[in-house]
Amino acid sequence: DAKTTQPPSMDCAEGRAANLPCNHSTISGNEYVYWYRQIHSQGPQYIIHGLKNNETNEMASLIITEDRKSSTLILPHATLRDTAVYYCIVRVAKNAGNMLTFGGGTRLMVKP
Amino acid sequence: GAVVSQHPSRVICKSGTSVKIECRSLDFQATTMFWYRQFPKQSLMLMATSNEGSKATYEQGVEKDKFLINHASLTLSTLTVTSAHPEDSSFYICSAGGLAAGVQYFGPGTRLTVT
Across the range B70-82, mean pLDDT stands at: 93
Check residue B99 and give its pLDDT.
67
Q: CB distance B108–A96 less than 8 Å? A: no
Check residue A1 and give its pLDDT.
67
Suggest the residue from B10, B32, B51, B57 to mutate for an interface test with chain A (most A CBs closer than 10 A).
B32
Chain A nearest-CA residue for B35: A99
One pLDDT digit (tens) per residue for chain A, 112 residues: 669 999 999 999 999 999 999 999 999 998 999 999 999 999 999 999 999 999 999 999 999 999 999 999 999 999 999 999 999 999 887 655 577 889 899 999 999 9
Chain B nearest-CA residue for A105: B43
Chain B nearest-CA residue for A39: B108
Decide if A33 contacts A71 (C-beta within 8 A): yes
DSSP chain A: ----B--SEEEEETTS-EEEEEE-TT--TTEEEEEEEE-TTS--EEEEEESSS-EE-SS-EEEE-TTSSEEEEEETT--GGG-EEEEEEEEE--TT---------EEEEEE-
Residues of chain B positioned with their CB less than 8 A from the CB of A104 = 43
Check residue A100 and give its pLDDT.
84
Check residue A43 and give its pLDDT.
96
Instruction: Tell me: pLDDT of B31 over 90.
Output: no
Check residue B93 and give its pLDDT.
97
Check residue B10 and give its pLDDT.
97
- CA of B40, closest CA in chain A: separation in Å? 10
Residues in chain B: 115
Residues B68, B79: Cα–Cα separation, whole Å: 6
Instruction: Tell me: pLDDT of B28 over 90.
Output: no
Check residue A97 and give its pLDDT.
56
Q: CB distance B4–A103 less than 8 Å? A: no
| Measured CA distances, B87 to A42, A55, A105, B15, B112 (Å) | 21, 42, 25, 10, 10
Pairing mode, strands A106-111 and A9-13: parallel
Q: CB distance B44–A102 less than 8 Å? A: yes
